Structures are given as structure tokens and as C-alpha cells.
Structure 1
Amino acid sequence: MTLPPSPSVSPTAPPSGRFNFLPGIRTRINLWRGKKQFQGANLRGANLGRVDLIGTMLLWAVFAWAALLWMWLPEARFVGVILIWANLLWTILVWINLREANLQPGRSSLKKILLLGILLIWATVLWSIVVAVKSDRSILLWANPNVAFILWALLGKVDLSNSNLSYTNLSRANLNRVDLRDANLSYANLQKANLREAILRGANLSYADLRGAELGESDLQEAVLLGANLSGTDLSDANLSGVDLREANLHRSNLSAANLSWARLNRANLSWANLSWANLSRARLVHANLNDADLSGGDFREALLYGAAVNQVDLNAVLVKGAKFGQNAGLQDSECIKLKARGAILNSQIDITADQKLQEY
């Protein structure tokens, strides 16, 4: 299949192994403005990951600020105490809200919450003007960390769901725990990107370059990775249920304990892949290349392995009840006897109709 040429990107890029903060900040600002069109953009090394540490530090700063005001300003009285602790309570609620990885609050509701925080800050500032003439410690009132906290709340959580990132250069980018559900990442360059715990449910990653990327514990349910290059990729503990990996290159990838149930892996290259303890129940592996793969502890129950190559593969520690084998290169007669005894369906018992073949491909 001839692939369309990738559009040229800017040659400027951060040094290897470092994150580029400016593209990340620009992207966060564009997202807050509602822009999700990044087709062909050069975001190499962009830091778009969750910055929970900064939020936690700001939360503690607000707590310390509130405690100092409460102890050092006897002039605060009732109104001041209410404002001080209202600031702290609002900060805690926003911090908890934004730490939820799967939460998708509406833009309008989030803006209302942040508007409340801005009103609290201004109320505190106006109150500080009144107190300023009575206390030499009123400078503390002007050092309200909630100003920085609002900026963190605005830019800290990256929501790239339904965004267009096709042909985008995201190599070495930090996308840890970023929400990318239903995003278009077709033909994107994601080499050595950090996508650990990212939400890629329903995303289109067709023909994307994910060589060396980290996708451990990510959510890729129903994602499309047709023809994607995942060679050497870490997908351990990832949720790949129902994913489309037809013709994908998974050579030497780590799929240990990954959930690949109902996945479509027809003609995929899984040679030397680590599939130990992976769940491939009801997966389709028609004409897949499993040569030298580690399948120890894998669950292949009711999977379709018609035409799959299994040279140098140990099938003794694999669950195969209901799995369908046929015309498998590397499958010895002695192994066929063992597979049949363990409930596998062998070549003579398989009836693959023309309609089924079309469905598999």
C-alpha cells in the first residue's frame, strides 16, 4: 500500500531526551481557547503531560498562606476568616476535580468554577485594602497563591479528545495521562513518546509511527492502529480490547499482561513480541506472524489463528480451549495432538466461509 507523503515540519527541535516547554504551553493555551486542529504541527518534545506535582505544591502553598493569615491577622475577624478558608476550600475542590484522569467536565462548568475562584481572590483583595491600614502584616494578603493556582487549573489538564493531530510530529513528547479519546493521530510521528496511562479510547492511529513509545497501562479500547508501527513499544498492562491492529508491526513489542480480547491482529507482525500473560481471547490473528514470540501464560481461548506462523513458539503454557488453528507454519504434528487434547479446534474441523474471510480482513 502506498502511503501519502508526510508534510514537512519545522527542522527546529529540542535536544534528544529533553522536553520542549514552549510548544506545550502554546498547545495548552490553544486548547483552552477551544482550538483542536493541530494537523501537521511540529510538537516534538512538547510537554503535554499532567502537572499534578505543581498543583500539589500550589495546594500546600495555599494551605500555608491560609494558616499564616489566620494566625497573624487578628484583624481578620469573621469576614476575613470566611474568605481565607473559602479560598482554601475552593483550591482543594478544584485540585481533586482536576486530578481525575477520566473526568471530562464541560468547558462552561469548569469556567464557572474558575470564575468563582477569581471572585474569591478579588473579594480577598478588596478586604485586604480595608485591613491594610490596621495591620503591618497585610502584605500576606497580596501573596495569594490562588492566582498561580488558577493558571495551573486553566493549563494543567490537557484535553485532546476529538482533536486532529494527523501527520503531527509528537516524537519524544510527554503525553502521560493525556485524554486523547477519539482523536485523529493517523500518520503521526510518536517515536519514543511517553503515553503511559493515556486515554486513547477510540482514537485513530492508523499508520502512526510509535516505535519505542511507552504505552504501558494506557487505554486503547476500540482504537484503530491499522498498519501502525509499534516495533519495540511498551504496551504492558495496556487495555487493547477490540483494537484494530491489522497489518501492524509489533516486532519485539512488550504486550505483557495486556488485554487484547476481541482484537483484530490479522497479518500483524508479532515476531519476538512478549505476550506473556496477555489476554487474546476471541482475538483474530489470521496470517499473523508469531514467530519466536513469548506466549507463556497467554489466553487464546476462542481466538482465530488460521494461517498464523508459530515457528519457535511454545504453546504448552497457553490457554487454547476453543482456539481455531489451521495451516500454521511451524506447528508440528505432535503439538497438534496436544492442542486438540486441550480443546483447540484444528484444521480439519475449521469451516471458514467466504463471508467469514471477508469479515476477518
Structure 2
Amino acid sequence: MTLFSREQVLNKLQQGHSFYKAELSRIDLQNTNLDKGKFVEAYLKGANLSQASCKGADFTKANLIFAILSGTNLTQAQLCQTELNGVSLDGVNLQEGDASKAIFYDALIKDLNAPLIKLESADLSESQTTNSNFSGAKLNNVKLNKVNYDQVNFSGAQLYEAVAFAAKFTKIILREANLGKAKFIQSTLIESDLTQASLIAADFSKSHLSNVILKQADLLEASFKSAQLNEVDLTEASLFNVDLEGATLSQVNLSDANLQEANLENTIWENGNFSGCNVTGAIFSNAQGLSEAQKQWLQDNGALNIS
């Protein structure tokens, strides 16, 4: 039970009152103005904040588990280390908010507008997100394990050392995003755009990429061991020293890409395009599916262990 009524909360907010560690579970604050309100470590489990204006509000370390956040304006709000497990975010504005180290485990996110948000070291594992905008966001060290994301914009976002084990991404935009040292092991990317993205030393082992654009992307020392790449466009991409051992590559476009010193041992190929590709020092031991013409071209252009 809440210790404050809706009217009491609004009156105290007008007086500049802080709700530090206040018991506000299941309180109905929909359609209210909570701008710059102070709810640090407050207990707001199951609270209804639908259509509330919470611009610049401080929910640091607050408990918002199962809270209802539909149409809520959280622009520039503080949600650092906030617990948002199982929360429903529908049509919420989190632009320039700070949710570093927040927990969104099993959250249901739809039509979220969160450009430039800080989600560094946040945990969004097993969350589901559709039609949302995280452009320019900072998601370094974020956890995205077993998420299901559809039509989400991460253009220009920072996902350095992000971890996304067994995640599914469909129609994701990651143009010019930084995924350096990110781990997307056993994950699936479908119909997604990573043009000019940085994936230096990223790990996509055992992942499945289908109809993915990686034009001019930087995949220096990235790993795609035992991955499946189908209809992937790597035109002008840098794959220097990339590890593709055991990968299956079907209709992959490597025109004008840099495959120098790449490990392509035990790969399986179907309709690959190497036009203008730099394959100097690339190792093709036991590669299968290459045509005789491709083998000859690869050998003539410096690839190794062609058989």
C-alpha cells in the first residue's frame, strides 16, 4: 500500500519535497506533471505513470518493476541503477535520459524515442523492442542477451563491448555504430543495415546473418567462426585478419573488400563475389564450394592454401 495519495504527492512536489525512499507502490500518477521530481530510491512497483510528464525527474536507484509507462515523457530523466524489470514502455520519450546500469530485464518496449540516451552497463536481457529509436545512444557494456528487437534504430550508437548472446535482431539500423569488441555469439541478424559500422574485434561466432548490409564496415580482427552468412553485402569492407573459420557463406558480396590475412579455413562457399577483393595472405585451407575459376583467381591474387 502506498503511504501517499495522488493529491499528496502532487502537493508535496509543488513544495519541492523529495520522495527519497518513499513507499509509492501502485500509486496512480497518470496524466500528472512530475517534472524534476525527486524519487531517488523510491518504491514505485506497479505505479501508473501513463501520460505523465517526468522531464528531468530523478528516479536513481528507484524500484519501477512492473510500472506502467505509456506515453510517459522522461526526457533527460535520471534512471541510473533503476529497476525496471518487466516494465511496459509504450510510446515513451527517453531522449537524453541517463539509464546507466539500469535493469530492463524482460521489459516490453514499443515506439520508444530514446536518442542520445545513456544505457551504459544497463541490462536489457530478454527484453522485446519494436519500432524504437536509440540513435546516438551510449550502450557501451550493455547486456542484450536473448533479446528480440524488430525495427530498431541504433544509428551512430556506441555499443562497445556490448554482450548479446542468442539475441534476435530484425530490420535493425546500425549505420556508423561502434560495436568494437561486442559479443553477438549465436545471435541472428536479419534484414539489417550496418553500413560503415565499426566491428573491430567483435565476436559473431556461430551467428546467423541474412540479408545484412556491411558496406565499408571495419571488421578488423572480428570473429565469425562457424557463422552463417547469407546475402551479406561486404562491399569495400575491411576484413583484415578476420576469422571466418568454419563459416558458411552464401551469396556474399566481397567486391573491393580487404580480406588480407583472413582465416577462411574450412569455409563453405556458394556464389561468392570476390571482384576487386584484396586476398593477399588469406588462408583458404579446405575451403569448399569455390569454382575452379574462383580458385585460380584467388591463387593468382595472393590467397594461400587453395586446393
- 1:22 correspondence with 2:73: no
**In the superposition, relative to structure 1, how do residues 329 and 44 fare at CA in structure 2: closer, same or farther (>3 Å)?**
same
- Counterpart of 1:330 in structure 2 is 274
Equivalent residue runs for 1:181-330 within 5 Å: 181-330=125-274
One-letter identity of the residue aligned with 1:36:
V
CA distance in 2, matches of 1:188, 1:24: 23
SS of 2:269 mapped into structure 1:
strand
Q: Distance in 1 between matches of 2:106 and 2:191?
A: 25
Q: Check conservation: 1:24, 1:48, Cα contact below 8 A.
A: no
Which residue of structure 2 lines up, in the alignment, with residue 140 of structure 1?
Answer: none
The whole-number CA distance in structure 2 between the counterparts of 1:236 and 1:333 is 23
Q: Secondary structure at the match of 2:233?
A: coil
How far the C-alpha of 1:211 sits from its partner, in A, is 0.2
Between Structure 1 and Structure 2, the one with more helix by share is: 1
Q: What is the TM-score with the length of structure 2 in the denominator?
A: 0.66
In 1, the alpha carbon distance for the partners of 2:237 and 2:114 equals 29
Shift in alpha-carbon separation, 1:21–1:255, aligned structure 2, 3 A: farther
Q: Which has the higher strand share?
A: 2
- Determine helix, strand or coil for the equivalent of 2:59: helix
Check the 8 A contact 2:201/2:223 in 1, yes or no. yes
* Higher relative contact order structure (alpha carbons within 8 Å, sequence separation ≥ 6): 1
AA aligned to 1:346 is: G
1:47 to 91, 98, 103: 98
On the 8 A contact 1:46/1:170 being kept in 2, the answer is yes
1:268 alignment partner AA: V
Counterpart residue type for residue 289 of structure 2: L
SS in 1 for 2:230: coil
Shift of 1:35: 6.2
1:46 to partner: Cα distance: 1.1
Report the Cα distance in structure 2 between the residues aligned to 1:279 and 1:273, rounded to whole angstroms. Answer: 14
Instruction: State the Cα distance separating 1:286 from its structure 2 match.
Output: 1.3
Report whether the alignment pairs 1:347 with 2:290: yes
Q: Is the 8 A contact 2:86 2:104 kept in 1?
A: no
Contact residue 322 and residue 343 of structure 1 kept, 8 A: yes
Q: Aligned residues, how many?
A: 222
**Structure 1 residues 35, 227: closer, same or farther in 2, change over 3 A?**
closer
- Could you give the per-residue CA deviations for residues 177-204 of structure 1, whole angstroms, max 9, x where no partner exists? 0111001122211101111001110112
C-alpha distance in structure 2 between counterparts of 1:236 and 1:264, whole Å? 19
Give the superposed CA RMSD: 2.7
CA contact under 8 A between 2:239 and 2:260: conserved in structure 1? Answer: no
| Higher CA-based Rg | 1
Q: Which runs of 5+ in 1 are unaligned?
A: 1-19, 51-157, 350-361
